[in-house]
């Protein structure tokens, strides 16, 4: 696994007043290795040094309501929570919960929405792309960023570990926090985005010009490696990955498809780029792909085993999520009490 991604808490004293980490993933589609590398594996690193909150963003999933069936949303939300734990998020170190179980998020989202100019929301790339793909656009899609800002600010989070496609959402979160602080008095700390140095944007194996994404994965085989894929499917997907006519394995000069395979190899093996180049001297892309299959399969096996055990224990997962929601609510409700004072309601 890639070296430490979160800043290390340097001294004993610092660890006593731990900083807060928050992140989340929407409960749509199938989680893939890009989600694992860009987000989940970062969350799992150094949990003991932080106060951590990891939520399933199931209210954000509703921003495209046509895309989700209620029963499926319920099932997916639990699955995503189970994948958090299976990927190494320790419920003893981190609060794991469903966003919808802490209604204070939506309360704060309203107040933040009232201090957010519509122009800021209309400029968001994700809004423009998603709105263009729909006949009618719900106001929830436009207000997506104010809810995300509320998710983060309600815990006064310091760090938000995400893939680099979320950076614009983090920028607007800071803008909204600053505007609130300006209007009502400095209250919210400005959260920092944490991206991996390598692996913050994993590309599609079938088309390295596209980010690996849940929505493309739902339509096309060979695009993504899902966290629950069997070894056979992993093999087929990686062996079919786009490369080029060359054969030399070097990070700097690699074509986008080969670079993507190399980044996957780098992050999952934890080896340095120079060690990887040396290892593959005189070997071709076939060898790189075969070894990457091994690496991915051995990374996914324990995650899949743990996931199935968690899903089999329905009560255990329910208890974990309700405990998480109770702990998160304690913090969130305090923020709401403070904010009510500040804004005068």
- Residue 35 or 58: which CB sits closer to ligand AMP? 35
| Nearest-approach distance from CB 214 to ligand AMP, in angstroms | 5
Which residue out of 18, 76, 128, 130 is catalytically annotated? 130
CA pair distance 56, 143, nearest whole angstrom: 18
Let me know if 214 is a catalytic residue. Answer: yes
Closest distance of CB 15 from ligand AMP, Å: 25
211, 236, 259, 306: the catalytic one is: 211
Q: Which of 44, 80, 81, 160 binds ligand TRP (CB under 6 A)?
A: 160
CB of 99 to ligand AMP, least distance (A): 12
Residue 152, binding choice from ligand AMP, ligand TRP, none, Cβ under 5 to 8 Å by partner class? ligand TRP
Which candidate in 18, 19, 76, 214 is catalytic? 214
Segment interacting with ligand TRP, rule: CB under 6 A, options 144-152, 174-182, 210-218, 266-274 = 144-152
In angstroms, rounded to a whole number, what is the distance separating the alpha carbons of residues 318 and 296? 30
CB of 315 to ligand AMP, least distance (A): 27
Of residues 88 and 145, the one with the C-beta less far from ligand TRP: 145
| Closest CB to ligand AMP among residues 113, 163 | 163
Residue 28 C-beta: closest distance to ligand TRP, Å? 9
211 is annotated as an active-site residue: yes
Q: Which of ligand TRP, ligand AMP, none does 291 bind, CB closer than 5 to 8 A by kind? A: none
Catalytic residue check, 130: yes
In the range 144-203, which residues lie near ligand AMP by CB under 6 A?
Answer: 162-163, 165-166, 200-202
Least distance to ligand AMP, CB of residue 144, Å: 11
60 touching ligand TRP, by CB under 6 A: yes
CA neighbor of 107 nearest in space, from 321, 344, 335: 335
Using rule CB under 6 A, residue 52 touches ligand TRP: no
**Residue ranges binding ligand AMP (CB under 6 A):** 25-26, 34-35, 37-39, 162-163, 165-166, 200-202, 211-214
Residues catalogued as catalytic: 130, 211, 214
């Amino acid at each position: 696994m890639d070296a430490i991604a979160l800043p290390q808490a340097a001294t004993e004293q610092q660890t006593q007043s731990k900083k807060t980490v928050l992140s989340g993933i929407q409960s749509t589609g199938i989680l893939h290795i890009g989600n694992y590398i860009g987000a989940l594996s970062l969350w799992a690193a150094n949990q003991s040094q932080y106060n951590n909150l990891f939520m399933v963003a199931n209210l954000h999933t509703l921003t495209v309501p046509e895309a989700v069936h209620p029963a499926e949303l319920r099932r997916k939300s639990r699955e995503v929570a189970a994948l958090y734990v299976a990927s190494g998020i320790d419920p003893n170190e981190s609060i794991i919960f469903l966003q919808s179980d802490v209604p204070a998020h939506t309360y704060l989202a309203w107040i933040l929405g009232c201090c957010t100019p519509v122009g800021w929301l209309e400029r968001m790339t994700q809004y423009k792309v998603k709105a263009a793909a729909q006949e009618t656009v719900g106001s929830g899609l436009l207000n997506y960023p104010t809810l995300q800002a509320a998710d983060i600010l309600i815990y006064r989070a310091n760090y938000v570990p995400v893939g680099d496609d979320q950076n614009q959402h983090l920028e607007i979160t800071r803008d909204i926090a600053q505007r609130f602080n300006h209007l009502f008095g400095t209250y919210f700390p400005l959260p920092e985005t944490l991206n991996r140095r390598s692996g913050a944007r994993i590309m599609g194996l079938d088309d390295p010009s596209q980010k690996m994404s849940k929505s493309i994965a739902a339509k096309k085989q060979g695009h993504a490696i899902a966290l629950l894929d069997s070894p056979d499917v992993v093999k087929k997907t990686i062996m079919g990955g786009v490369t080029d006519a060359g054969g030399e394995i070097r990070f700097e000069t690699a074509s986008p498809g080969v670079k993507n395979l190399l980044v996957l190899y780098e992050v999952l093996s934890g080896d340095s780029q120079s060690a990887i180049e040396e290892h593959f001297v005189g070997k071709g892309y076939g060898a790189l792909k075969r070894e990457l299959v091994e690496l991915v399969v051995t990374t996914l096996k324990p995650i899949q085993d743990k996931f199935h055990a968690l899903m089999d224990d329905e009560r255990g997962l329910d208890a974990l999520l309700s405990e998480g929601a109770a702990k998160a609510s304690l913090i969130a409700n305090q923020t709401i009490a403070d904010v009510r004072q500040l804004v005068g309601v």
